[in-house]
Structure 1
Amino acid sequence: MKYKLILLIILIISCRNNDDNIYSENILKREEIESNDSLEYSQYIDCNTLIRGKIDDDNDTDFYQINPTNGFVMDFTMSFYNLDANIHMDIISSDNDTIFSIHSKDISNYNGLMEFKDILLNDDVYYFKLNADKECKYNLKFIFNDDYLPSNEIEPNNKINEANIIHYPNEMVYGYFIKYYFNVDEYIKPYIKKSGLIDIDFYEIKNDTDINTSINIKLEYSKDIDMILFDENYNYLKQGINQLNTSFEANKKYYIALICYGYEYITDRYVLHYEFN
């Protein structure tokens, strides 16, 4: 999986439209430079920078470019002044692959301020594509640091062959359900509901020992989430809600699918781990 984006520690979509923290740090302040309406003419952003820009109308799209140093994490804040505007933001790789998309209309507690904290990016070029259906002024702030936790969800992981690895029992993996616009993996399609899908996250676990045992897979989250277990050949085994007990055969690999349903998502972080019975 060439392009990875780890969402670490906190992902907050604030329900307060408060710009005080936007200006509270000693960072560079820059204005949007037109025309930045394509990848080719995207505006480059240094670390520790605040950009002030404006979407003129629904035909206006603004592109920005960052090139993080490998191993550094980014705090990214977006503040919008027109709460009636539906904001659409994509993060795009250098191969023009969309890593994920965010629509303000899909967020149940959106009120003008979006904060993404401790995002780990590979050493590569990334683009931010921003548009709205109405005129809207905005601020973008980028802060980089080198303090992060290693065990977290890596996006994209919504297909079984992109599953994140949980390396050992009781390793806590943190992640988020963010609404994606993707084609559902063929292996899981027969086992999910026909509508209301928000996100699917896949994880891989493996028994590297010669001992047959059993485990309990646990998901800690603020709402009920479907869990489906597959064997190493992608065959369906069983499913449950927020928890699964299963055999854990020697030298076998398994895949866990977390399926979140709804029509708006919340931004609580989940915790996934497994333990021996």
Structure 2
Amino acid sequence: MKYKLIIILLLVIISCINNSKENNIISVNRDEIEPNDSFEYSQFIDTSTFINASFQSDEDIDYYQIKPTNSSVMNLSVYANKLDINLTLMSSSNSNVININTKYIENYRGFIELKDFMFYDDSYFLKLSSDKEGKYDLRFEFKNDYFPSNEIEPNNNINAANIINYPNELFYGYFLYNDFYSNNFNIDENIKPYIKNSDITDIDFYEIRNDTDINTSINIILEYSKDIDMLLFDENYNYIKKGINKLSTSFKSGSKYYIALVCFGSKSIIERYTLHYEFN
């Protein structure tokens, strides 16, 4: 069975300065344990931990097995000074959940923070590498928290659309760079005729439904600092209309609609967006 990659409230912050850390979680200080260059020899992490580590060469790969005790949520941060980092978070079934190459991050200055990652497997593996040797610091923080509605990846095509369940439900998401011209991220055929031929950072699909017996109208609102193309399709994937950060449309009884958010560019954007719909 194909493993569905789920990212709940994934926050990627790239900071130009040393960001302050949350101090309300007790961490254990440890050094990296070598060798940890394979799944078999991955360093085991089961509690909130701060690790001093390094890449011994440009071919060094470091693995960490993450299996928290009595926690369901993780904050992960990597401080690597001037190193570019390849970061992959994998499920226990060896499916990639998160892929980040800092070369494709806007304003990267050596700091990555992934906040509020929800665990759906018993354990995960973190794989880190770089194109040159150097030191890095790694911090794991585990906790249990409540979460609002958040983007579930991958949602790059209409068949994987996230469902917004009710009016005024805020959905949180991020535009993280995908190579849409590779075999792994083909652009949805339903959307191709309605987007410009340009570099695409990310496409996020959402679904809304009118399960009532009332015909009405709604506004679909994206709160974001940049202009993002919003495309609307009916339940048969027929194109309806397009807008920038806002759409107004009829909302027919018993119908469902698909919203495509298209972010153009060639790098991940670190700012979180919110999406919701409301009645006129």
Looking at structure 2, the residues matched to 197 and 3 of structure 1 have their Cα atoms a distance apart, in angstroms, of 21
Quote the offset at 1:155 in angstroms: 2.1
CA distance in 1, matches of 2:219, 2:21: 42
Aligned match of 2:161: 163
Q: Percent identity?
A: 58
Aligned to 1:151: 149
User: Relative to 1, partners in 2 of residues 1:148 and 1:110: Cα closer, same or farther, differing over 3 Å?
Assistant: farther
Runs of 5+ unmatched residues, structure 1: none
Distance 1:210 1:71 in 2: 42
Measure, in 2, the Cα distance between the counterparts of 1:246 and 1:109.
37
- TM-score, normalisation: structure 2: 0.89
Match of 2:182 in 1: none
Matched residue SS, 1:5? coil
Q: Deviations over 1:67-96 (max 9, x none)?
A: 357972211111113x1x321111222232
Q: Which residue is 1:77 aligned to?
A: 77
Q: Distance in 1 between matches of 2:167 and 2:69?
A: 31
2:211 alignment partner in structure 1: 208
Decide whether the 8 Å contact of 2:229 with 2:243 is kept in 1. yes
The residue number in structure 2 matching 1:96 is: 94
Q: Structure 2 vs 1, CA of residues 93 and 159 (structure 1 numbering), >3 Å: closer, same or farther?
A: farther
Secondary structure at 1:190 match in 2: helix
Amino acid at match of 2:41: Y
SS at match of 1:154: coil
User: How far apart, CA to CA, are the structure 2 residues paired with 1:25 and 1:145?
Assistant: 8
Q: Which residue of 1 aligns with 2:255?
A: 252
Q: Distance in 1 between matches of 2:190 and 2:209?
A: 19
Asked whether the 8 Å contact 1:68–1:122 carries over to 2, the reply is no
Paired with 1:39 and 1:186, the residues of 2 have a C-alpha distance of 37
Does 2:199 match 1:196?
Answer: yes
**SS of corresponding position for 2:77:** strand
Q: Which residue of 1 aligns with 2:112?
A: 114
Q: Is the 8 A contact 2:212 2:253 kept in 1?
A: yes
Which aligned runs of 4 or more in structure 1 are off by greater than 6 angstroms? none
- Equivalent residue number for residue 26 of structure 1: 26
Relative to structure 1, the CA distance from residue 27 to residue 129 in structure 2 (aligned partners, 3 Å threshold; closer, same or farther) is: same
The 8 Å contact of residues 222 and 273 in structure 2, kept in 1 or not, is answered as yes
**1:266 CA displacement:** 3.0
Asked whether the 8 Å contact 1:180–1:198 carries over to 2, the reply is: yes
Distance 2:259 2:209 in 1: 11
Contact 2:27/2:48 (CA < 8 Å) preserved in 1? Answer: yes
Match of 2:37 in 1: 37
Q: Which residue in 2 is equivalent to 1:262?
A: 265
User: Matched residues in 2 for 1:24 and 1:210: separation?
Assistant: 49
Shift of 1:58: 2.4
Equivalent position of 1:47 in the other structure: 47
Mapped to 2, the partners of 1:34 and 1:191 lie a distance apart of 51
The equivalent of 2:176 in structure 1 is: 178
> Given the superposition, is the C-alpha separation of residues 188 and 127 from structure 1 closer, same or farther in structure 2, using an over 3 Å criterion?
farther
C-alpha distance in structure 2 between counterparts of 1:5 and 1:43, whole Å: 23
Q: Could you tell me how far 1:272 is from its partner in structure 2?
A: 0.5
Aligned to 1:12: 13
1:151/1:174 contact within 8 Å kept: yes
Provide the TM-score with structure 1 as the length reference.
0.89
Aligned-partner Cα distance in 2 for 1:183–1:42: 33
Contact 2:71 2:142 in 1 (8 A): no
User: Which letter maps to 2:164?
Assistant: I
Query: Is the Cα–Cα contact under 8 Å of residues 5 and 96 in structure 2 kept in the other structure?
Result: no
Return the offset for 1:158: 1.7
Structure 1 residues 210-251: Cα deviation after superposition (integer angstroms, max 9, x where no partner): 111111100010100111112222222221111111111111
Most deviating of 22-31 and 130-139: 22-31
- Per the alignment, do residues 77 and 242 of structure 1 end up closer, same or farther by CA in structure 2, a change over 3 Å counting? same
Which 5+ residue runs of structure 2 have no aligned equivalent? Answer: 180-184
3-state secondary structure, aligned to 1:155: coil
Aligned-partner residue type, residue 31 of structure 2: E
Q: Per-residue displacement from partner, 1:100-125 (whole Å, max 9, x unpaired)?
A: 31121222221111122222221332
Which residue of structure 1 lines up, in the alignment, with residue 231 of structure 2?
Answer: 228
How many residues matched? 273
**Structure 1 residue 23 displacement after superposition:** 8.7
Q: Given residue 149 of structure 1, which amino acid in structure 2 is its aligned partner?
A: F
Conserved 8 A contact 2:92-2:121: no
